[in-house]
């Protein structure tokens, strides 16, 4: 029981990073039709920049939580304006290849600059240590990370469901062409949405920094899991991305806890099972598949 | 200024090499209901998509109120007053009924229907306002799809087979709605296979066969020659 609770918390914390990043991936795919392969690299950059801010500017975790998403937002805006937008008219595959190329480039540049060994990052003061609830002993930072991710997901959800911009993003995510034909200038939202999605990936990176190994390669496994999440949740479903993000976090944690090395396999077994039963994913619409 | 609201002239459309529309010309006057009747695959949807600016392989003239729409994006065309009602109704599943209604930006303040007025005209939509759009029945979805551009204040509705897949009673209701819309001064370009239905709502008809308009006639003539025309269309 104790173990189970610990794994659950671990799963929710990891699921939080996944959910945030997958949310970004989903809105980008929805509005631009682009599958952003560089999402894992953006997550890595989020963690790396946090570590660099600490090392060179003594800016710790709390400032990083704000600064990094802002930086990543502008990185996203820049990439969209300079590169992505020119390929939007072509087959979506071109942008997939572009973001794949950008990933290789980013990862190699980071390796060159910072080597392959992991950078150090401390759990922020006040969030270190463990807390005992009865017989259960939980990491405070993981509690924080899980709660923080849930809060951000809720905020994004409120923004998506209660504001006009959110309604437009949801509509464009469901069917961008139709939204245009109804008079919505979808193009106007393309750049901010891309930036926003990248910022979410960066934010996930900051959250991961205090307890994951920070190095240039940390995004490569992450992106594979993100794709599994998107498939499980349903490509183009925002709610699906969040739910599947947490779900995969949990499966991974239970897998690690109870079966050791099997955890990654379990994720893909889950994916295969979902696809067998619902080819469009848990929250995907069948005709969209 | 003439009375013409929409003018389509020598419009040709292609899918790759295949030509599906050949020099189609037709026009719709302010407040007029005009049909384009043709069988499966005649090119009706393609024509509406071309008018909306959604079909890339299009040549020819599309003008609204004398202003060419050439090079204008679909969203620009919608904001100039075109109200597209696609064949699959185009209702958003992730948006509630009321959100579906208020999603399109208002294009003409004086012509736009208020939500209250929409709900008065379509009481079911009021009842279901908080439902996800696709939880409605087919007929209700069709009403929602037609109400949406009215709320935005579109001047011309492009209706793609609104009667398709609906029970006869509902088809009659849709017909009444079209007549009501016309009474409000909104023009309609109606694309149909259901000839009987088309003849109950329209002023004029264009018959489309193999991508060409083979006849244009008013409703009386259409009535008297229905059988012969249908044979001609292979329907
Ligand atoms: N994406 C496409 N690629 C190639 N050919 C297409 C495509 N869409 C339609 N066509 C062809 O173009 C022709 C016209 O199609 P369109 O959908 O405009 O007809 P329609 O009159 O609307 O038919 P329906 O009554 O079935 O809705 C058809 O022969 C169809 O096979
Ligand atoms: Mg059609």
Length of chain B: 235
Query: Of A41, A63, A42, which Cα lies nearest the Cα of A54?
Result: A63
pLDDT at residue B39 greater than cutoff 80 = yes
What pLDDT, on a 0 to 100 scale, did the predictor assign at position B76?
94
- CA of residue B165 to ligand 1 center, whole Å: 18
CATH fold for domain B4-233: Rossmann fold (3.40.50)
What pLDDT, on a 0 to 100 scale, did the predictor assign at position B2?
57
Would you call B71 helix, strand, or coil by DSSP?
Answer: coil
Whole-number Å distance between alpha carbons of B89 and B54: 16
A178 touches chain B (CB under 8 A): yes
A88 touches chain B (CB under 8 A): no
Contacts of A182 in chain B (CB under 8 A): 75, 78, 84, 90, 103-104, 148-149, 152
Q: Is the CB of B38 under 6 A from ligand 1?
A: yes
* Residue ID of nearest Cα to ligand 1 atom 5: B15
C-alpha separations of A52 from A49, A64, A76, A150, B218 in Å: 5, 10, 19, 26, 76
Nearest bound ligand to CA B51? 1
Cβ of B78 and A285 within 8 Å? no
* DSSP strands (E only) in chain A: 130-133, 136-139
- CA of residue B45 to ligand 1 center, whole Å: 7
Which residue in this structure is represented by tokens 């919505």? Answer: A184
Closest-CA distance, A183 to chain B, in angstroms, reads 4
A182 touches chain B (CB under 8 A): yes
What pLDDT, on a 0 to 100 scale, did the predictor assign at position A117?
82
pTM: 0.82
Answer positive or negative: Cα dihedral of B205, B121, A175, B74.
positive
Q: What is the pLDDT of residues B60-101, one digit of tens each?
A: 999 999 999 999 999 999 999 999 999 989 999 889 999 999
Which of B75, B82, B96, B148 should one mutate to test binding to chain A, selecting the residue with the greatest count of A CBs within 10 A? B75
Alpha helix stretches (DSSP H) within B74-218? 74-79, 97-102, 115-121, 123-127, 138-152, 168-183, 195-201
Q: Is the CB of B43 under 6 A from ligand 1?
A: yes
Q: What is the DSSP letter of A260?
A: G
Q: Domains of chain A (ranges plus CATH)?
A: 2-118+130-277 (1.10.3470)
Residues 6+ apart with CB under 8 A from A64: A49, A50, A53, A54, A206, A209
What pLDDT, on a 0 to 100 scale, did the predictor assign at position B26?
93
B90 touches chain A (CB under 8 A): yes
B108 touches chain A (CB under 8 A): no
Please give the radius of gyration of chain B, using alpha carbons only, rounded to the nearest integer.
17
Residues 6+ apart with CB under 8 A from A90: none
Which of A181, A186, A233, A285 should one mutate to test binding to chain B, selecting the residue with the greatest count of B CBs within 10 A? A181
Would you call A20 helix, strand, or coil by DSSP?
Answer: helix
Segments making up each domain of chain B, as ranges = 4-233
A186 touches chain B (CB under 8 A): yes
Half-sphere exposure of residue A256: CA atoms within 13 angstroms, side-chain side: 13
Contacts of A179 in chain B (CB under 8 A): 103
CB A24 within 8 Å of CB A39: yes
Q: What is the pLDDT of residues B160-175, one digit of tens each?
A: 999 998 999 999 999 9
Cβ of A181 and B93 within 8 Å? no
Tokens of A100: 């794949």
- CA of residue A232 to ligand 2 center, whole Å: 33
- The angle subtended at Cα A254 by Cα A250 and Cα A258, nearest 5°, is 175
**Alpha-carbon A205 to chain mean position:** 8
Contacts of A183 in chain B (CB under 8 A): 75, 78-79, 104-105, 107, 152
Q: What is the pLDDT of residues B92-131, one digit of tens each?
A: 988 999 999 999 999 988 889 999 999 998 999 999 999 9
Q: Is the CB of B165 under 6 A from ligand 1?
A: no
What pLDDT, on a 0 to 100 scale, did the predictor assign at position B3?
86
What pLDDT, on a 0 to 100 scale, did the predictor assign at position B6?
95
B148 touches chain A (CB under 8 A): yes
What pLDDT, on a 0 to 100 scale, did the predictor assign at position A201?
95
- The angle subtended at Cα B152 by Cα B146 and Cα B156, nearest 5°, is 60
Q: What is the DSSP letter of A278?
A: -
- The angle subtended at Cα A62 by Cα A240 and Cα A155, nearest 5°, is 30
Closest-CA distance, A4 to chain B, in angstroms, reads 35
Q: Which helix (H) or strand (E) holds B33?
A: strand B33-37
Closest-CA distance, A214 to chain B, in angstroms, reads 38
Interstrand relation of B212-218 and B204-209 (parallel, antiparallel or unpaired): antiparallel
Cβ of B103 and A178 within 8 Å? no
**What is the mean pLDDT for each group of 10 consecutive residues in chain A (289 residues)?**
83 90 90 90 95 90 94 95 87 89 93 85 83 80 90 91 90 88 90 94 93 88 92 88 94 87 85 90 66
* Residue ID of nearest Cα to ligand 1 atom 31: B41
Cβ of A178 and B93 within 8 Å? no
- What end-to-end distance do the CA atoms of chain B give, in Å? 38
């Amino acid at each position: 029981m104790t173990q189970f609770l610990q794994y659950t918390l671990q799963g929710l914390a990891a699921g939080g990073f996944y959910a945030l990043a997958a949310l970004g991936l989903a809105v980008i795919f929805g509005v631009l039709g682009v599958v952003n392969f560089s999402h894992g690299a953006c997550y890595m950059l989020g963690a790396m920049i946090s570590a660099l801010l600490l090392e060179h500017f003594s800016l710790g975790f709390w400032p990083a939580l704000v600064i990094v998403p802002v930086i990543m937002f502008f990185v996203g805006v820049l990439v969209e304006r300079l590169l992505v937008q020119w390929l939007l008219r072509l087959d979506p595959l071109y942008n997939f290849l572009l973001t794949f190329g950008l990933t290789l480039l980013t990862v190699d540049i980071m390796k060159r600059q910072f080597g392959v060994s992991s950078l150090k990052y401390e759990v922020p003061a006040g969030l270190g240590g463990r807390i005992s609830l009865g017989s259960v002993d939980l990491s405070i930072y993981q509690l924080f990370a899980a709660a923080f991710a849930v809060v951000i997901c809720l905020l994004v959800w409120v923004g998506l469901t209660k504001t006009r911009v959110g309604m437009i993003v949801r509509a464009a995510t469901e069917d961008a062409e139709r939204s245009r034909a109804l008079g919505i200038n979808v193009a106007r939202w393309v750049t901010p949405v891309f930036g926003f999605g990248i910022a979410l990936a960066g934010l996930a990176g900051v959250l991961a920094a205090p307890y994951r190994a920070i190095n240039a390669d940390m995004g490569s496994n992450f992106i594979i899991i993100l794709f599994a999440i998107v498939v499980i949740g349903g490509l183009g479903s925002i709610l699906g991305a969040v739910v599947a993000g947490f779900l995969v976090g949990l499966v991974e944690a239970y897998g690690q806890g109870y079966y050791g090395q099997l955890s990654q396999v379990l994720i893909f077994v889950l994916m295969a099972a979902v696809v067998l039963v619902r080819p469009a994913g848990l929250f995907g619409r069948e005709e969209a598949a | 200024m003439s009375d013409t609201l929409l003018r389509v002239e020598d419009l040709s459309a292609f899918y790759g090499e295949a030509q599906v529309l050949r020099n189609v010309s037709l026009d719709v006057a302010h407040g007029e209901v005009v049909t384009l009747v043709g069988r499966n695959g005649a090119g009706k949807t393609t024509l509406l998509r071309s008018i909306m600016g959604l079909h890339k392989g299009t040549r020819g003239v599309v003008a609204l109120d004398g202003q060419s729409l050439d090079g204008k994006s679909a969203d620009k065309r919608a904001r100039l007053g075109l109200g597209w009602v696609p064949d699959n109704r185009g209702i958003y599943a992730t948006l509630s009924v009321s959100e579906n209604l208020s999603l399109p930006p208002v294009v003409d303040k004086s012509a736009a229907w208020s939500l209250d007025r929409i709900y008065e005209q379509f009481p079911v939509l009021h009842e279901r306002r908080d439902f996800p759009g696709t939880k409605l029945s087919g007929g209700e979805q069709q009403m929602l799809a037609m109400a949406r551009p009215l709320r935005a204040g579109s001047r011309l509705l492009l209706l793609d087979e609104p009667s398709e897949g609906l029970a006869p009673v509902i088809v009659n209701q849709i017909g009444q709605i079209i007549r009501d819309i016309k009474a409000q001064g909104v023009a309609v370009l109606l694309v149909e296979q259901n000839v009987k239905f088309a003849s109950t709502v329209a002023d004029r008809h264009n018959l489309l066969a193999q991508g060409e308009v083979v006849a244009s006639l008013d409703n009386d003539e259409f009535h008297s020659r229905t059988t012969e025309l249908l044979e001609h269309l292979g329907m």
